[in-house]
Amino acid sequence: MTDDPLEKAEASSPPLRRRTRLTRAGLATRVDGGRAVNPPLVRASTILFDNVAHLMDVRRRRNDERLLSYGARGNPVAYALEDAITELEGGHRTRLFPTGLAAITQTLIACLRPGDHVLIADSVYEPVRHFARQFFERFSIDYSFFAADGQGVEALLRPRTRLIYAESPGSLAYEIVDLPALARLAHSRGILLAADNTWGAGYLYRPLALGADIVVSAPTKYLSGHSDVVMGAVTTTQEAWARINRSADAHGMTVGPDDAWLILRGSRTLAARLPLHAAGALRAAQWLRAHPAVARVFHPALPDDPGHALWRRDFSGANGLLSLALKDPAEEAAIRFIDALRLFGIGASWGGFESLAMLADMRQARTVADWSRHPLLIRLHVGLEDPDDLIADLEQALARKSVKGER
Ligand SMILES: *Cc1c(COP(=O)(O)O)cnc(C)c1O
């Protein structure tokens, strides 16, 4: 038992709410004297042992227990971050990866073997498609894509389907799948369900509580919140843990303590940042939808968004992402609009404090759904700037003569 009065109070009181837990997970462990709020940054490759017996004992136990044994097998700050993410996602344990994409590809590799079949959401983060093409074909793993809203998944199942890989809301257009229904279907056939929770940031959405076995995410985005670090995370149920952990060790997957420290620092303000991003994105989405040059706006908090009802049922909020299609379908129109923006940076990724704009070709990003009506989307990430300034910026960019509107 603990002597820490705070821990004692927690042990004897009702479970803390998520926002409170976000400030308490993965803090410094007690050493003699007082203690810093945050864990010390320990940079290490070699870990020293008292004698050979000590080394052999740690090596024997390190696959099952969390023991400092070598830099590539983790470090104290990474352990603290793992605990914080485990707490957020409500899982058994978390493994960290050098990028969000590595977290996804390592999950696929850990769950599949030659002859297996995997079903992947049509709305998946696009680089996963490139991985599937390169890796699965070389290793004789079959894959197919299912509609982003989950329609017709059952008919796509095969006797060798081992894994369903979901992403909800989907990349770029934010399609939402009924994850509990997908989990029931998967589990009735002994199939694993993995879900990408980067949009939900472990905070707005809890795939494990909705039935997923594995949740992957890119803390690169909102957990970091400051556009200065890349990282991936995989959190699993107890049953799915060993295969991910073993495979990650075999592949030498690790993260540096400095990067883990940055994500941990960013995570403390997640609950304060997300509502500002969401409020700004909703304002921008509503404003854009009423603009005569805009054909369509994609954002799940809009009441007429196709995923809105499921979003309300399964999510506790939204973030700063939205996408739009201009009425002018010409690529030059979209490019001129993006180039005319002054407060939106042009660049990949999102989740930082700054606003961003990106051009997305939906004919490459989707293969199941027909996107010929809106082949080009402009994805916006609404940062922490004042929404009035952002809307004024959108207005001046749309007002450029070169962006053909219907007015
Ligand atoms: C950005 C992103 C990733 C990949 O994260 P990186 O750290 O950039 O590799 C994975 N999934 C989703 C949904 C993303 O948006």
Per-residue model confidence as pLDDT tens digits over 147-174: 999 999 999 999 999 999 999 999 999 9
Residues 6 or more apart whose Cβ sits within 8 Å of residue 305: 174, 298, 299, 311
Q: What is the pLDDT of residue 389?
A: 98
**Which of 125, 259, 350 for a ligand 1 pocket mutation test, highest count of atoms within 8 Å of Cβ?**
125
For ligand 1, atom 5, the nearest C-alpha belongs to 100
Q: Based on the fold, state whether residues 153 and 262 are members of the same structural domain.
A: yes
Q: Please give the structure tokens belonging to residue 364.
A: 């490459």
Query: Is the C-beta atom of 220 inside 6 A of ligand 1?
Result: yes
Q: Based on the fold, state whether residues 257 and 277 are members of the same structural domain.
A: no
CA 227 remoteness from chain centre: 14
Q: Is residue 407 part of a domain?
A: no
Q: What is the pLDDT of residue 34?
A: 83
* Beta pairing, strands 214-217 & 356-361: unpaired
Q: Based on the fold, state whether residues 184 and 239 are members of the same structural domain.
A: yes
Q: Is residue 406 part of a domain?
A: no
Q: Based on the fold, state whether residues 292 and 376 are members of the same structural domain.
A: yes
Q: What is the pLDDT of residue 407?
A: 39
Range of the domain at 301: 271-399
Q: Based on the fold, state whether residues 244 and 286 are members of the same structural domain.
A: no
Q: Based on the fold, state whether residues 111 and 244 are members of the same structural domain.
A: yes
CA of 10 to the centre of ligand 1 (A): 34
Q: Is residue 171 part of a domain?
A: yes
Query: Is the C-beta atom of 171 inside 6 A of ligand 1?
Result: yes
Residues 6 or more apart whose Cβ sits within 8 Å of residue 272: none
Q: What is the pLDDT of residue 22?
A: 85
Domain boundary residue among 242, 267, 292? 267
Split at pLDDT 50, 70, 90, the class of 2 is very low
Split at pLDDT 50, 70, 90, the class of 406 is very low
Sign (positive/negative) of CA torsion 133, 134, 136, 139?
positive
User: Higher pLDDT residue, 16 or 99?
Assistant: 99
Q: Is residue 43 part of a domain?
A: no
| pTM metric for this prediction | 0.93
d(CA 173, CA 323): 7
CA of 118 to the centre of ligand 1 (A): 20
Q: Please give the structure tokens belonging to residue 100.
A: 């969000």
Q: Domains in the chain: how many in total? A: 3
| CATH number of the domain encompassing residue 213 | 3.40.640.10
Q: What is the pLDDT of residue 21?
A: 86
